Structure 1
């Protein structure tokens, strides 16, 4: 595998931004017989474009499935087109694949494109896939922070999760001074609309049963089960931690890119 760490200029965000890439490469072949499939991998609130590389075996998994992995960076934007800040949703859905295809010659055909993320990135991946199913065939949402109003509530409570420190200030930049979350970016609203779309993404969702976002996941799981034709959910003991997401990304790739469909519910974790 080849690994590139660099920056690109984003027209959507009007700035240079980190853009990390893993590419299939065996040391001998530099030209593929056909472009590799592509995974857009989204980071969490307190992470960067480097964290997936540092904390998981994603490079090894990419090699196993002959997969190109694109890891963009959107700061603490919650994958929104911010009121005071970057247009992160537009960047991920309208610009990243175009950059990846032109610079790295990977496949951007719908049937070859996956998007996945953890926590804030779990929300981002699910929203992007549901709103743009014509671009993303597969989606992985791990320990997703799906309820943006509930996230704000938790951030204002004393003794809350340390990962939410600064979120109240973030919401002012993302949604404006009143910090009101627009209905159209809420996951339940987006799931309702996907029923009317001509295509749907295949979705793999997971969460640890001790994760502080487990209740949010359970609510979204029910909606997905009712609305999505190809939906797989898993849970197992664990908290909001990298051991969970390292296993989840491998299981998602095995499900979507492995040989044949897998009855994950009957497998040991």
Structure 2
């Protein structure tokens, strides 16, 4: 794979943003001159950035022989949301970045059936939100995603200050209302329900109960969702292992190479 470190000017953010991109190596993949290469947007969690997936998983080795573009944007701790403090992170990923990258990489597919999104923790929420809101992605996956805030104390200092959460989502009390299974469930009715969804969470993860609750609500709303659980905590050791399963789940010719030659 060719690894590209890209800095581009975001007009809607009025600042430079970073994105890491893996591009298929013509010497190792079939159809290296394809004009329609599938693309996976891979989203980081809180405290992460565009390089995190590369630094902490075997991603580059896993896709080394697969004809797939992997896009890893840096969105800070903005929750893939048009924040109340004025930075439209959702619009960056949903609208601006795909058009920007298509100019740089004209062989990158624009077809929905070849466009995928996945993420962990905050990025799992972002993957589901973007897939439900845009109808751009055919497959969306969440690893230990924050698919619900049920049971989480957002007033806890370890979770960030109330001012931070209000800056992202607005009124925290409204966001946490037990009468509202949060934004994702409400988005299901507005989607065309053509996207396939996948979620995984470890049974020892502090988000396990929230994932169980969110998955039940999303399925009740009519979402096509495959849910897997296993032993695991909120740690990269488990996300690294589950990443391979996500890649195998995608409708691509995933050629796993167990050893580097």
Q: TM-score, normalised by structure 2?
A: 0.85
* Residues in 2 aligned to 1:70 and 1:121: alpha-carbon distance in whole angstroms: 13
Please show how residues 168-179 of structure 1 align to structure 2 within 5 Å. 168-176=162-170, 178-179=171-172
SS, match of residue 9 in structure 2: strand
Give the corresponding residue for 2:144. Answer: 143
Please show how residues 38-117 of structure 1 align to structure 2 within 5 Å. 38-105=39-106, 106-117=108-119
* Residues in 2 aligned to 1:78 and 1:28: alpha-carbon distance in whole angstroms: 35
Distance 1:150 1:15, change over 3 A: farther
Q: TM-score, normalised by structure 1?
A: 0.83
CA contact (8 A) 1:146 1:187 kept: no
Distance 1:251 1:35, change over 3 A: same
Please show how residues 191-230 of structure 1 align to structure 2 within 5 Å. 191-195=185-189, 197-228=191-222, 230=224
Give the corresponding residue for 1:263. Answer: none
**Residue 132 of structure 2 corresponds to residue 130 of structure 1:** yes
The CA deviation at 1:59 is 1.4
Give the corresponding residue for 1:17. Answer: 17
Which structure dedicates a bigger proportion of its chain to helix? 1
Cα RMSD (Å) of the superposition? 2.6
Distance 1:187 1:122, change over 3 A: farther
* Residues in 2 aligned to 1:229 and 1:173: alpha-carbon distance in whole angstroms: 29
CA contact (8 A) 2:149 2:210 kept: no
* Residues in 1 aligned to 2:149 and 2:161: alpha-carbon distance in whole angstroms: 10
* Residues in 2 aligned to 1:73 and 1:32: alpha-carbon distance in whole angstroms: 28
The CA deviation at 1:66 is 1.5
Distance 1:48 1:216, change over 3 A: same
Bigger relative CO (Cα 8 Å, ≥ 6 apart): 2
* Residues in 2 aligned to 1:10 and 1:187: alpha-carbon distance in whole angstroms: 33
The CA deviation at 1:98 is 1.2
* Structure 1 range deviating more: 118-127 or 78-87: 78-87
